[in-house]
Amino acid sequence: MNIEIKARLKELKDEYKKGQERLIALEQETANLSNTMLRISGAIQVLEELIANDATVISGNGNSELETAKNIKK
């Protein structure tokens, strides 16, 4: 009986250790993915600003889109 209990205890400890290792790996993967998404978000913002600036230049008045919208309402 004692041998069976010790064997089961060892199995559970091994499973627990594997679980801890997997959790650490998942946390690292989550951090990496968050960083990647942050970089992508920054790139999206830059590209959107470039598009907005191009639209302003094309309109030829030098106003931002927000200022243009305010002038239309007046």
Specify the residue for token string 């209990």: 5
Model confidence pLDDT, tens digit, residues 7-45 = 999 999 999 999 999 999 999 999 999 999 999 999 999
pLDDT at 67: 58
Question: Rounded to an integer, what distance in angstroms lies between the CA atom of residue 30 and that of residue 42?
Answer: 18
Domain residue limits at 32: 2-73
Domain count, the chain: 1
Question: Rounded to an integer, what distance in angstroms lies between the CA atom of residue 10 and that of residue 29?
Answer: 29
Amino acid letter, residue 47: L
